[in-house]
Structure 1
Amino acid sequence: MDARFERILILGNSGSGKSWLAGRLSALLGCRPVDLDAIHWEPGGYDRPREKDDATATVRREAEGSKWVIEGVYGWLAAEVVQRATLMVWLDLPVADCLAAVERRGPRGGATAASFAALLAWTAAYPDRRTSSSRSGHGRLFDAFPAGRHRLRSRFDVERWLDGVAHDVAS
């Protein structure tokens, strides 16, 4: 297998398609996708974040493997594994597209009406936040990444890029 596809880190806003892309890439590459939501939050919902030290240790363990696809919005967790990644993909889609996707999929994972409303507000604020889990935070990680990187700005770009990966992996 092409070494650039060994350890892929996918960043993006909620609703950008990170989990969808990670699932497709993992199937192509024969590995399990890792969702940073499952690391950031305690099991059972989105109302209790995991202790930061526990989340950091967990994501570092996940990144010890020789082949992985890790995806998420949490820039502070992505920063813990970025040095092991061989490829970074930033799904920098329009906020309206991300909001529509979140609304389409609806609440999940034990989300309450209040936590779903908070997720919609969080998604809408992606370009304005100044945290590691924002457009500017993802941009800083992306700009500093020394290996292969792809910034995809539309669903069409994502599908076209994935088609190229599938072709490269099959060759």
Structure 2
Amino acid sequence: MVNKIIIFGNSGSGKSTLANRLKQQQNLAHLDLDTLAWEATNPPVRRPQEASVKDIQAFIMQHPKWIIEGCYTDLLNLIAPLAELAVFMNLPVAMCQANARKRPWEPHKYVSQEAQDENLPMLLNWIAEYDQRTDEFSLQAHKKLFESFHGDKIRHRENPASG
């Protein structure tokens, strides 16, 4: 059994879904990096990396068995040396967009289902740009993280629940 897992990939790739399933199966503490990467402002602004890192370190110190997921390679690169398994959710953009369209309300990210729905066009565009971006949220950054990871690793090209 693996006790320390990172999951990363494009928005809508199924990171949270897989993390929640593994959390239940393996009794792991779960940290969604979205919950600590952003200031609660409108529009959202990234928190200083030092603040996010402090929260991640506190989570890791409190939980010896964990799963951490998100699209933030700047944060995941700091966690990767501690992880035993890396899971790269490398689904096609169209699948990620389809997942985003049917995503249930995420109360930890949006005040209402309506607010989440209002954000959907921006999210679909964000997902579509995954292959072209060069930032810490990009396919390029995720591939580099996956290739440099020294532990066990898995790349999913379709949703593991459906395949």
- State whether TM-score is above 0.5: yes
2:122 is matched with which residue?
118
Measured in 1, the distance between the counterparts of 2:42 and 2:36 equals: 12
Question: Across the two proteins, how many residue pairs are aligned to each other?
Answer: 156
**TM-score, normalised relative to structure 2:** 0.85
Measured in 2, the distance between the counterparts of 1:117 and 1:25 equals: 30
1:67 is matched with which residue?
65
Residue identity matched to 1:142: F
1:63, 1:84 within 8 Å by CA — same for their partners in 2? no
**Alignment of structure 1 residues 48-59 onto 2, 5 Å:** 48-59=45-56
- List per-residue Cα deviations over 1:87-127 (Å, max 9, x = no partner): 00000000000011112227642346664332222111111
Q: Which moved more, 1:107-116 or 1:91-100?
A: 107-116
Residues 44 and 27 from structure 1, CA distance in 2 versus in 1: closer, same or farther, beyond 3 angstroms?
Answer: farther
- List per-residue Cα deviations over 1:14-35 (Å, max 9, x = no partner): 1111001000100111122110
Residue identity matched to 1:79: N
**Alignment of structure 1 residues 14-29 onto 2, 5 Å:** 14-29=11-26
Residues 113 and 45 from structure 1, CA distance in 2 versus in 1: closer, same or farther, beyond 3 angstroms?
Answer: farther
**TM-score, normalised relative to structure 1:** 0.81
Q: CA deviation at 1:46?
A: 6.6
Q: CA deviation at 1:48?
A: 3.3
Residue identity matched to 1:67: K
2:101, 2:120 within 8 Å by CA — same for their partners in 1? no
SS at match of 1:90: strand
Q: Say what the alpha-carbon RMSD is for the aligned residues.
A: 2.2
Residue identity matched to 1:151: R
Measured in 1, the distance between the counterparts of 2:42 and 2:15 equals: 19
Residue identity matched to 1:131: D
2:3, 2:28 within 8 Å by CA — same for their partners in 1? no
Q: Which moved more, 1:30-39 or 1:52-61?
A: 52-61
